[in-house]
Amino acid sequence: MSDDDPFSHVEPVDSTDDDSLEAERRELAQRKRGLADFAAELDERETELRNRDKQLDEREAELDGRAQRIEEREAELDDREVAIKERERELATRAEELDETEQTLQAYVDDSIRETIHEAVSEATVGDDTPHRFGTIGSLILGLVGVTLVVGGVLYGFADEIALVPLLFANDAANLGVTVLLLFSGLAANLAAVAD
């Protein structure tokens, strides 16, 4: 070798150094691929997390909407409950008023009936100082007996058609006689009560 050659002093490259550099390069490339795969996996997980976060946000918004609808429904039910209670109070007040009105009318009718009966009895007995054979009570009883006999005679006259009224005789003429007797007895009792 010449002394003037600048490359004459360079040490020759060992082939083992090339192999180790190549191995290092392969290892770095493999690590780079591993990091790229890991980054892709992280990106995928981030996308999934974002999707889940979005779904959770949508679910939260849906639940908030449901909660708001429930609150509105509860407010409506509260309003209806207040209205129903108010209506119940009104109906209770009306019932009390109707009870009071009914009691007032009942008292008025009772008083009117009492006054009418009292006036009728007073009119029937006023100015009548003459003695009666039967007296006032006796005349009333005699009149009632007369009316009862007339009604009994009428009913007995239709005994053939009314199953509840029994016949006394099998003969039609005898039954007719009983009917006439009851009618005339009733009329006589009424006339006697009136004449008294």
Residue 151 placed within a domain: yes
**Residue 9's pLDDT band (cuts 50, 70, 90):** low
Q: Is the pLDDT confidence value at 56 over 50? A: yes
Residues 155 and 86 in one domain: no
Residue 111 placed within a domain: no
Residues 31 and 93 in one domain: yes
Decide if 139 contacts 193 (C-beta within 8 A): yes
Q: Is the pLDDT confidence value at 108 over 60? A: yes
CA distance 7 to 18: 20
Contacts of 162 (CB under 8 A, 6+ apart): 155
- Which DSSP string do the residues of 33-61 spell out, in sequence order? HHHHHHHHHHHHHHHHHHHHHHHHHHHHH
Q: Which tops the pLDDT comparison, 1 or 66?
A: 66
State the residue for tokens 């009966």: 117
How much is the average pLDDT of 146-155?
Answer: 80
Residues 36 and 89 in one domain: yes
Residues 26 and 93 in one domain: yes
**Residue 170's pLDDT band (cuts 50, 70, 90):** confident
Q: Count CB neighbours of 99 within 10 A.
A: 10
Residue 174 placed within a domain: yes
The predicted structure's pLDDT at residue 122: 66
CA distance 44 to 35: 14
Domain span holding position 74 = 17-102
Residue 96 placed within a domain: yes
Contacts of 2 (CB under 8 A, 6+ apart): 8
Share of the chain above pLDDT 70, in %: 78
DSSP 10: P
Q: In this predicted model, what pLDDT tens digit does every residue of 175-185 receive, in sequence order?
A: 788 888 888 88
Q: Count CB neighbours of 134 within 10 A.
A: 14
Mean pLDDT across the chain, nearest whole number?
Answer: 79
Lowest mean pLDDT of 5-14, 22-31, 34-43, name the range. Answer: 5-14
Residues 89 and 24 in one domain: yes
Residue 165 placed within a domain: yes
Residues 97 and 144 in one domain: no
pTM of the complete model beyond 0.75: no
The predicted structure's pLDDT at residue 1: 46
Buried residues in 68-87 as b, exposed as e (16+ CB within 10 A): eeeeeeeeeeeeeeeeeeee
CA distance 105 to 99: 10
Q: Which of 102, 118, 142 is the last residue of a domain?
A: 102
Residues 21 and 98 in one domain: yes
Residues 97 and 150 in one domain: no
Cα dihedral 107, 109, 113, 116 sign: positive
Residues 96 and 29 in one domain: yes
Residue 120 placed within a domain: no
Total structural domains in the chain? 2
Q: Is the pLDDT confidence value at 142 over 70? A: yes
The predicted structure's pLDDT at residue 156: 72
Residues 159 and 91 in one domain: no
